[in-house]
Structure 1
Amino acid sequence: MSQSDPNHKLKLFTESLNDSEIKSSRIERLNSIAESLSSVYRQDDTLNLNFICTHNSRRSQLAQVWMHNFSRLFHLNIHSYSSGTEITQVHPNILSVLEESGFEVEKSRETNNNPRYKLNFSETKGSILLFSKSIDDQSLPKKFVAISTCSQADENCPFIPQASMRFSLTYDDPGKYDGSDREIEAYRLTNKQIATELKYLTHKLISDE
C-alpha cells in the first residue's frame, strides 16, 4: 500500500493498536461482553449495537465509529449506532482525533446547534453520519444491544425498552480537560483506548464464532 493511499494512515493507526495495553480488569469485562454478544450473533447472524452516553458528543461517538470500522474490517454483520439521554452536538475534538487517526470527515455546512458530519471509511466500508441523537431517535433500529460508555448514562437511563441486552463499558470523560493544556492529549488517549478495546472485542467475536 503506497504512502499516497488515503487509507494508509488509518491502516497504520489500527495496526499500532496493541492488546497488551488493555488492563486485565478491562480484558475480563470485554471477554464477558464478547461471550454474551457471540451467543446472540450465532443465533441471529447479525447485531445492532447502540453505544450510549449522556450527551452523545464524545465517547459514544468514538465507539460507534470504531465498532463500524472493525466490524467491516473483520467482515462481521454488526451495525453500530450511538445515542444519548440528551441531545447536544459532536464535540470538535472528536472530529479532530478521528481525522488524526486517518478518517475523512466532511464537515457539515449546517449552522444549527447539532450539525451532521459525514465520516468516510473507504469505498468498501462506506460512510456514516455523526450527529448527537436521543435514544428514541428515528434513525436507530427498533431493537438493539445497549452499551453504556459513561456512568452517567447508566444512572440517568435505568431502563431502555428497545434494548434486548445491556452492558456497561465506561470510559473517563476527556471533556473534563477542556480548556486545559492537556485537552487534546486527553481526547487522543480516549480515542486510542476505545479503538484498542473495540478491536480486541471484535477479535473475540470472531474467535468465539
Structure 2
Amino acid sequence: MSKNRVTMFPEITDIINQLNPETIFEDRKETLRPLVEFIQTKVDKQEAIRINFICTHNSRRSHLSQIWGQVAAAYFKIPDVFCYSGGTEETALFPKVAETLLSQGFLVFKISKEKNPIYAIKYGVNAMPIIGFSKKYDSPFNPSSAFAAVMTCSQADNGCPFIVGAEKRIPIMFEDPKVSDNTPMQTQVYVERSLQIATEMFYVFSKILRREE
C-alpha cells in the first residue's frame, strides 16, 4: 500500500475489499458517468474537486454519499477532493445512519448534542474527520462556487431547479432507507443502502486517471 494512502480501519478495508462494481447495471453506470467526467476534468486541470450531495432533509442518503465519496477519493489517492452534503431544509442526521456507519467500522462521535447534533466521522486513525450534521445546501459550511451538485433524491431535484454556484448538476437518485423505519427490516435496509452507495462511489473514483506527479 502506498505511503500516501490513508490507512483505514480494518473493518472498512474489509468492506471495501468486498465491494463489487460489476453488480452495477449499465444504465446505472450511465447515470454515474457525468460525475466521473466532472471529477476527471478537475483532475486534468489540477483543480480542487468539490462535490455537494443534496437531498431533501440532509439526514440519510446525502450523508452516506458524502462519507463514502470522501473515503473512495482517499482510497484511490485522488487529491484535493472535498465532499459535502446539504438539504433543501435543515433537520438532523438520522441516528440510524450513525449507527450503520459504526457497524461498518467508522469511528463516529458527537461533538455537540443539540437538536441538530454535529458528528465527527473517521475512517482511519490519521484521517481528517468528516463533519456530519444537517444543513441547507447553501449553508456557509458548504462551497458557494465551483462545485458539482449531486441530487440524491427526486424531491430535492424537483424542488431545486437552480443551485447557485454549481458548475454542474448531476441527478443520482437513491431509494430512501426511511421506508424501513419502524420495521424489522430497518437495520438490513440501512446497511444495504450504505453498501450500494459505497459501491457506486468506489466505481466512480476507480474510473479516474490520476495525473502523474
Compute the TM-score of the two structures, normalised by the length of structure 2.
0.90
CA contact (8 A) 1:37 1:205 kept: yes
Q: Which residue of 2 aligns with 1:66?
A: 68
Report how many residues are paired. 204
SS of 1:206's equivalent in the other structure is coil
Give, in whole Å, the separation in 2 of the partners of 1:34 and 1:205.
7
Structure 1 residue matching 2:131: 3-state secondary structure: strand
Query: How does 1:133-148 map onto structure 2 within 5 Å?
Result: 133-143=135-145, 144-148=147-151
> 1:169: Cα distance to partner?
0.4
Q: Deviations over 1:54-109 (max 9, x none)?
A: 00000000000011111112111211000000100011111111111110001345
The sequence identity of aligned pairs, in percent, is: 34
1:90 corresponds, among 71, 86, 93, to 93
Q: How does 1:61-140 map to 2 (within 5 A)?
A: 61-76=63-78, 77-110=80-113, 112-140=114-142
Unpaired runs of at least 5, structure 1: none
**Corresponding residue for residue 11 of structure 1:** 13
Deviation, 1:123, is: 3.7
1:171 alignment partner, one of 167, 171, 174: 174
CA contact (8 A) 2:100 2:191 kept: yes
CA RMSD after TM alignment: 1.9
Partner Cα separation in structure 1 for residue 211 and residue 22 of structure 2 = 20
Give unpaired runs (5+ residues) of structure 2: 1-6
Distance, in Å, in 2 between the alignment partners of 1:188 and 1:134 is 25
Residues of 1 paired with 2:152 and 2:111: CA distance? 26
**Native 8 Å contact 1:67 1:80 kept in 2:** yes
Moved over 6 A (4+): none
**CA offset at residue 125 of structure 1?**
2.4
| Alignment partners' CA distance in 2, 1:120 and 1:169 | 25
Please report how far the alpha carbon of residue 49 of structure 1 lies from its aligned counterpart in structure 2 after TM superposition: 0.3
- Classify the secondary structure of the residue corresponding to 2:123: strand
Query: What SS is found at the alignment partner of 2:202?
Result: helix
Please name the residue that 2:192 is paired with: 189
Report if the CA contact (8 A) 1:38-1:208 is conserved: no
